[in-house]
Structure 1
């Protein structure tokens, strides 16, 4: 949680201050996302690494203001952006410009910044089908322009979806099919437009099939969960599937 003492200007109590002073700095750089995934509290360190819109940045202090997070990420003026803190468990938290974030709080994964007025500028985008409340919350905080369309199935479209280095494209239009029966039924695969290749010319397996969506020919990436990572209703969702899609694109270069 946020350090309420720091936010209100009250000094830490004598016990907390003493513990902080005697705690040893054991790491040069601590990665918040790695700590969150490991379920451990970030230790004291000389620098703290966190992501803003999936790009890593570092900060020398254990606390930071919301406006400073945006400034470090080059998102200026900060007043043009809204900021959310993504936690390993629970819903994203909205961070105000003057809110002080404790980078050592367990569970902080990353931050998402969205330019103010983005939704107003997208009123022409399509919302052709309803989505679950948890999915709408994710879509509105993920930091990508999105649409919902019905074309045989219900599709979620992510515009300008970034790819890791090594592909023929840097960004694509990504489509995810909301399967009948979702969220009890697993989401599967991903579809991209335009079709992409590896920059080094090596073939990408299981991407030969094309799928017509919204008048375009999308390349279908046949990628599936394994028995060790099954879909768990109540835990998995569009959000967890998108994070898996991000991993699928990165994993292509680790075969």
Structure 2
């Protein structure tokens, strides 16, 4: 029971945070330091006939329901959860009971509510059933009878997806050689790519280790190394990461590409880039200079090795300059975007710049 009334001085605005059951909080300003549950719901955009459930998420971790006319004591916390609900469900997280204003709850929300560290696993405990591992993306439908119980523990094993095959490790660190061998792959016959949620893909070497306790590790993807005349091609360089959309586009075209840092610049190198009919060669090695602040900064011009020449002869305008990349003389094609369609970092990327490259190459042979 709240025994005291603490009104803020007149005119002073108070900021609170309000979220739905996804716990994605947003800041709202109030004109009172003692808002009622009804006031919180109204600020969050709910109408009275929606019968919103308002809960204060206290600083000590408890969830406390606020009735429409009941005042919140902001000294206990300024976070609120508001949801359209006809009642609450009882759950416990790490033994602490909470009322939850929905019939389902995600693993990510359980982790937030319980303040459970990322390296700990969450389990749903139900009588007569084996404990269920709850991933952050899982949605648990809460049973109406009884109390759903969630607990966390430090995992005593770690899983890794290697090209669709799951292996289990009893230690958090596993070598690339061990991971691939146990999954049935020859470690020396593949290009090895590690995918981590929210991070660029990273190429691994055979001698590397993988820390499975690091959050977000998804899988290892394998790409066969090309073989010619009995000799394996060297794995493509990945000196820096491109955008996910760039890598997916290049891979989808089947182009053999790499990223290199050379001669003071960052380069995307595309091998065997096809040329339209009308040139003395059918393909070239294409290079794009990728600025350090890409995609905020634009990709400009493109470079070819060896020099691209028309079958009909004659100099191609604005291609006289030479740029050294990795010791090779690349022909610079000085082609730029016009003022009508300037670079837009929200829309443009490697794919859209390659459209400019294709158009420029075609124009010079009358296509």
TM-score, length of structure 1 as denominator length: 0.52
Structure of greater Rg: 2
Aligned to 2:339: 227
Aligned to 2:330: 218
**Aligned mate of 2:242, from 124, 131, 140:** 131
Aligned to 2:304: 192
Aligned to 1:106: none
Equivalences, count: 139
Distance in 1 (CA, whole Å) between partners of 2:222 and 2:315 is 38
Superposition deviation, residue 173 in structure 1: 0.4
Query: In 1, are the aligned partners of 2:279 and 2:365 still within 8 Å (CA)?
Result: no
Distance in 2 (CA, whole Å) between partners of 1:170 and 1:221 is 17
Higher strand share: 2
Quick check: 1:176 aligned with 2:288? yes
Structure 1 unaligned residues grouped into runs of 5+: 1-116
Distance in 1 (CA, whole Å) between partners of 2:274 and 2:248 is 20
Structure 2 unaligned residues grouped into runs of 5+: 1-220, 227-233
Aligned to 2:148: none
Superposition deviation, residue 186 in structure 1: 1.0
User: Which aligned segments of 4 or more residues in structure 1 are displaced greater than 6 angstroms?
Assistant: none
Quick check: 1:247 aligned with 2:359? yes
Quick check: 1:162 aligned with 2:274? yes
RMSD: 1.9
Matches within 5 A, 1:60-209: 119-121=223-225, 124-151=235-262, 152-209=264-321
Higher helix share: 1
Aligned to 1:89: none
TM-score, length of structure 2 as denominator length: 0.36
Superposition deviation, residue 188 in structure 1: 0.8
Residues 195-241 of structure 1: CA distance to partner in whole angstroms, max 9, x if unpaired? Answer: 12111012200111100001211000000111122111110001110
Distance in 2 (CA, whole Å) between partners of 1:172 and 1:124 is 19
